[in-house]
Each structure stands twice: as C-alpha cells, then as structure tokens.
Amino acid sequence: MAMSQSANLAEKAMGHGDNAVTEQDMTNPARDRAKYGDPSETMKALAWMGKNDVQMVETNKPKIIEDRDVILKVTGSTICGSDLHLLHGAVVELQKGDILGHEFCGRVDSMGAGVKGLKEGDRVVASFQIACGECMYCKKKLSSQCERTNSNTIENAMYGGRTAGMFGYSHFTGGFAGGQAEYVRVPMGDVNLLKLPDDVPDEKGLYLSDVLATSWNCVVDTGVKEGDVVAIWGAGPIGEMAAEMSFTNGASRVIMIDGGAASWRLDFCKEKLPKIEVINYTDLPRGTTVTSRLKEMEHGGPDVALECVAGEYAKGWAHYFEMLLGAETDTSEIINEMITSVKNFGRCGITGVYVGFTNHFNIGSLMERGIRLIGNGQAPVHLYWEQLLQMIREGKTDPYKMLTHRVKVEEMDIIYKKFDAREDHMQKIFVQTRFSDPPAKGSPALTTYKS
C-alpha cells in the first residue's frame, strides 16, 4: 500500500510522457466538475476510497470532452478478479475517489462530432482497454498494448514499455473513470465499442469486454491444441471459461486446481463442464503436492499449464511475509508449481495479474527441462471480440455457464465484499442499473442485499 502511494508521488515528480492522445487522470468527473462534469445530472458510481474500502458515491455525470468521446448509459457491468487486486491495493497508483469497473455495456447517450458508425441509442459493449486504433499495435488489433492512450511514466520505466489505458484501473494505466456507474465516458468510442445484435442480450454480450477475450487469449496464446492435456490454476470465471475454450480447441483432458474458501468453485465448474477433472489443493494428503498429483494423473504431467489466479495470492507464509515486507510484489509459488508440473518442453501461460517482481523463481527447472513460459499479456480484446460474438451467437461459448447473480449497482459496495470472500457461490455477476432491460431469458433473477 505504501508502495502504491509512493508510486503516485514518483509519477507526480517525474511527470507523464507526451505520447497520449486522450485526456489522462479523469477517474471521477468530480475531480474537476467544470471541465469533466455534466452540470445537468448526477449519477451513482462505485469508488475506491482506500485499501479494502470501496463506497457508493453520488458524482457528476461525465460529459464529452473530446471529439471522439461517447457517453454511455450503462446497462450492464460486473466485478472482475482484477478488481480485487485494486480493492486489496495490490495494483499501484490508485487515488481516493477513483471510479472502478472495466467490463461494461450500455446504450449510446451522446457522442462527439468525430464519432463514426454509431448513433444515439445503439446498444454496445466496451473493451476494457482504450485503444487509439491507429498506432503500430492497434493496426494489428493488439489493442491492450496501444501506444497512445496511457502516458504513465512509472509503468514505462518499470516494464520497459506501457500497456494501453484501461477503464477503472488506476493511474498506472492512464487514470480513466470506470463503468461500475450509471454513466461512463468512452474515449475514441468508434474504436472501443462493439455493437451488440438483438439476438445477444446484455447478459451475454457484456462479457466480450474482458472475461471471454481474456480466457480465449489465454488458451490460444499459450497454444492449446488438439489432444493436449491442460491444467488450469484458478476456477474463477477466467479459469472456467479457459476450461470451456480449451475443449473447444481440442484439449483431451482439462484439470482444474483451486481450494480454500473457493473450493466450491471446483464443484460449480464440474457441474457446468462435466468433462473436467479437479484437484482441491487444500484436501491433498500430507506429502502430496499439486505437482505430484498431476504426475499421478497424467504420465509426465500436463502438456500445458494456464495461470488464472494472480501473483498476490501467496500459498505459504514465506511469500506472504516477503510481500508484506515489500521484498517482492508477487509470489512465485503458482508459477513454480506450473513449471514443475508440465511435461518437459511443456508450455505455461500467465493470464492472472502479476504486478512487479518475484523471488525464488525456479529458473533451473525452466531451463533444464525446456519449459516455455509465456506472459499472455493484458488480453487484446479487439483481436478477438468479433469472432467471440459469433461464437456466442452459434452457442460455441456460453457466458451463462459462469453467470450466477444479478445485482443492483446501488449495492456494489456490499457485493465487492461478498465476491472477495467467495461468499454466496458468486462466480460471475451481472450488475444492472436504472437503464437496464429486464433480465433476459435464462439469466439469473435479481438478488438484493440491502433491505
């Protein structure tokens, strides 16, 4: 946490780069009402107020500040596992009052004169990243790595390059207000919004924003192919959809690993995807490790390992304390488990979020056994979303497999706590606002928590 705030100070001292073509650090219209806020209306939004503290706030509706802006009436949003990293303060450069949320869909409320191909009332989904559409990466649709929407200097120095700007994901990725709100401003809306056809309800189309593209990227970027045995760490929404999509890509076996407070997720995934096999790491007998169990299940271990957890979740005390003391930002335990588990020359893909540096990395096993370790990156949504929309329409991927709850935006502060504690068997939620349509056929009915 101290690191998060010192990164804010360092960023201030060093100043932003000059690469961004869109306004930076507009994480809440109330930051500068006159410049960013529409005086005619207020809105409800979920704001980060400090470590493990998110609150509902009443703030200004955003207004158009650039020619290619679209203001959306949000009709659906959700919480991602990545939002928990913000809640926990694991991601640096958050500021009090930042509006969160990077997966959302809605209807066009208004737009700047430079927006082509959209009109008021259009139903659209946003990509979690903000891309310019024209730079070297955008030309290849590698939208998550756009060079022109994030001018953060700390990220550039730490990583040797920047990611694109992202909605509701701290000043480290540009400082954009997110979509866990009633309205949201989408910069370069003609590039970062995809129209949803009438046969795809919000309750399915919303997930093109992030989880579907991320799971698909995890599977194809790590190279899951016909006949592969795939092990997946983490049975959250990303791991679950990566399991479904591994089968789509021809995997012969998929083994999911999870445990602790989220053990129920293994049963949940098994119910939705009966072909999967599971390992509950908290139930393993003394002397049996995830690696040894995987080798018992498959000679030599799986061909492919997919990381759908995150570096902030230490398994043992050693890494817990190293992180607490600032000796590392991320644990190496899960990646080491993946490396030692796969067959020699096996592949390991990392999709779960890792922020900085890790200790005790098993580089020996990686080198000697020829393991291919692949950072999957923030998923380039634009590369995949049209194909994935088609897959939804043809029933080749089904977001309802992970969707368990429909909740109200007004209750998001409570929902964050429940989702974080893995309570109420909350796998993936759909957040409605006053602008949402009634629940689509086959999607969950509304659950309310405040009386």
Ligand X SMILES: NC(=O)c1ccc[n+]([C@@H]2O[C@H](COP(=O)([O-])OP(=O)(O)OC[C@H]3O[C@@H](n4cnc5c(N)ncnc54)[C@H](O)[C@@H]3O)[C@@H](O)[C@H]2O)c1
Interface ranges with ligand X (CB under 6 A): 80-82, 84-85, 210, 214, 233-239, 257-258, 260, 262, 265, 281, 308-310, 313, 315, 334, 351-353, 376, 378-379
Query: Residue 378 binds which entry of ligand X, Zn ion, none, with Cβ cut-offs from 5 to 8 Å by kind?
Result: ligand X
- For 20, half-sphere exposure in the C-beta direction (CA atoms, 13 angstrom radius) is 24
80 touches Zn ion (CB under 5 A): yes
**Contacted entry of ligand X, Zn ion, none for residue 184, CB cut-off 5 to 8 Å set by kind:** none
- Rank residues 184 and 229 by Cβ distance to Zn ion and give the closer one: 184
- Residue 64 or 142: the one with the smaller Cβ distance to Zn ion is 142
What's the Cα-to-Cα distance from 394 to each of 127, 388, 403, 444, rounded to whole Å? 21, 10, 18, 21
Of 132, 177, 276, 402, the one binding Zn ion by CB under 5 A: 132
Least Cβ distance, residue 211 to Zn ion (angstroms): 7
b/e map 196-229, b = 16+ CB within 10 Å: beeebbbbbbbbbbbbbbbbbbbbbbbebbeebb
Cα distance between residue 411 and residue 434, in whole Å: 13
Centroid of chain to Cα 187: 19
Structure tokens at 287: 């002397």
Task: Return the one option of ligand X, Zn ion, none that residue 258 interacts with (CB less than 5 to 8 A, by type).
Answer: ligand X
Instruction: Examine residue 135 and tell whether it contacts Zn ion (CB under 5 A).
Output: yes
403 binds Zn ion (CB under 5 A): no
Q: Which of 28, 82, 397, 436 binds Zn ion (CB under 5 A)?
A: 82
Q: How far is the CB of 210 from Zn ion (least distance, A)?
A: 4
> Per CB under 5 A, does 191 bind Zn ion?
no
Cβ at position 251, least distance to ligand X in Å: 18
Near Zn ion by CB under 5 A: residue from 109, 155, 210, 337: 210
Q: Which residue has its beta carbon closest to ligand X?
A: 81
Task: Give kind and range of the element (H or E) at residue 418.
Answer: helix 412-420
Q: Which does 138 bind (CB under 5 to 8 A by kind): Zn ion, ligand X, none?
A: Zn ion
DSSP 32: G
Q: Give 115 or 426: the residue with its C-beta nearer to ligand X.
A: 426
Q: Which residue has the tokens 């809605």?
A: 106
Nearer to ligand X, 350 or 391 (CB): 350
- Taking the least distance from each CB to Zn ion, the nearer of 189 and 302 is 189
- What is the closest distance, in whole angstroms, from the C-beta atom of residue 113 to ligand X in the complex? 32
Beta strand ranges found along 26-69 (DSSP E): 37-50, 53-62
Alpha-carbon separation of residue 147 from 25, 232, 241 (angstroms): 17, 31, 29
Closer residue to Zn ion (CB): 93 or 147:
147
Which one of Zn ion, ligand X, none interacts with residue 342, CB within 5 to 8 A by kind?
none
The region, left, alpha or beta by phi > 0 then psi within -120 to 50, assigned to residue 175 is: left
CA 302 to chain centroid, in Å, comes to: 26
Report the residue number, 128 or 268, with the smaller CB distance to Zn ion. Answer: 128
Judged by beta carbon distances under 5 to 8 A according to partner kind, the member of Zn ion, ligand X, none in contact with residue 132 is: Zn ion
Q: Which of these ranges, 144-152, 179-187, 271-279, 366-374, lies near Zn ion under the rule CB under 5 A?
A: 144-152
Task: Report the partner that residue 27 touches, choosing among Zn ion, ligand X, none (CB closer than 5 to 8 A by kind).
Answer: none
Q: How far apart are CA 296 and CA 291, in angstroms?
A: 9
Residue 407 burial (CB count, 10 A): 23
- How far apart (Å, rounded) are the C-alpha atoms in residues 20 and 43? 28
With respect to ligand X, which residue has the nearer C-beta, 36 or 169? 169
Selected range binding Zn ion among 114-122, 124-132, 432-440, 442-450, rule: CB under 5 A: 124-132
Please count the other Cβ atoms lying within 10 Å of the Cβ belonging to residue 417: 14
- Contacts of range 254-257, beta carbons closer than 8 Å, 24 or more positions apart: 254/229, 254/230, 255/229, 255/230, 255/231, 255/279, 255/294, 255/297, 255/298, 255/302, 256/231, 256/232, 257/231, 257/232, 257/233, 257/281, 257/290
Task: Please select the residue that binds Zn ion; options are 91, 94, 108, 138, rule is CB under 5 A.
Answer: 138
233 makes contact, choosing from ligand X, Zn ion, none, with CB < 5 to 8 Å by partner type, with ligand X
- Residue 26, CB half-sphere, CA atoms under 13 Å: how many? 25
Binds 238: which of Zn ion, ligand X, none (CB < 5-8 Å by kind): ligand X
105: amino acid identity, one letter: C
- Residue 119 has phi, psi (to 5 degrees) of -140, 165
The verdict on 11 binding Zn ion (CB under 5 A) reads: no
Contacting residues toward Zn ion, per CB under 5 A: 80, 82, 131-132, 135, 138, 146, 148, 210
